Amino acid sequence: MTDYSFARQNRSTRTLVILASVYAGLMTLVLLFDAASWIVWLLALATLPAVWDVVQNTRAGVQIDQTAIRWFTGKRQGEIMLNDIDFFRFDTRWDFSVRVSIVLESGKRIRLPDESLPPHRELEPVLTQAGFRVERHHFTVF
């Protein structure tokens, strides 16, 4: 098995452009449509986690080596030994996002943090090449 590593910074150009666009849209609501300020502030609250990530410049990623899979996001991290893993489960949600879970030999499921994972189309071949079974489940509720 070849080692695999993926990492991302939350202070990226993409994140900054998205935040600027959202704030420009909110200002447009106020200036052009005379939106109520409490509604604009309520909508702006949804951006606070992204602003916090940009200010803190948190990192997230995953590493797979010969013995374990490790992931980190901000100050949280986790590790699972490869010999404890039964298979990986990719769940496509109704919003077309894909959640990845590790199913252990004991039957316990561990959901990997979305922000620490590469795009699922990049991750699936890496896991398959490493000899893991990958199950896909589309449009599940759980």
Could you report the per-residue pLDDT of 86-135, keeping only the tens digit for each?
999 999 998 899 999 999 999 999 999 998 999 999 999 999 998 999 99
pLDDT of residue 141 exceeding 80, the answer is: no
What 8-state DSSP symbol labels residue 114? G
Report residue 53 as tokens: 């990530």
Q: Where are the domains of the chain?
A: 4-8+58-138, 10-56
Over residues 47-64, the pLDDT tens digits come to 999 999 899 988 999 999
Fold adopted by 4-8+58-138: PH-domain like (2.30.29)
What 8-state DSSP symbol labels residue 112? P
Residues pairing with 90 in the sheet: 100, 136
> Mean pLDDT for the chain?
92
The Cα 84–Cα 89 span in angstroms is 15
Q: What is the pTM of this model?
A: 0.76
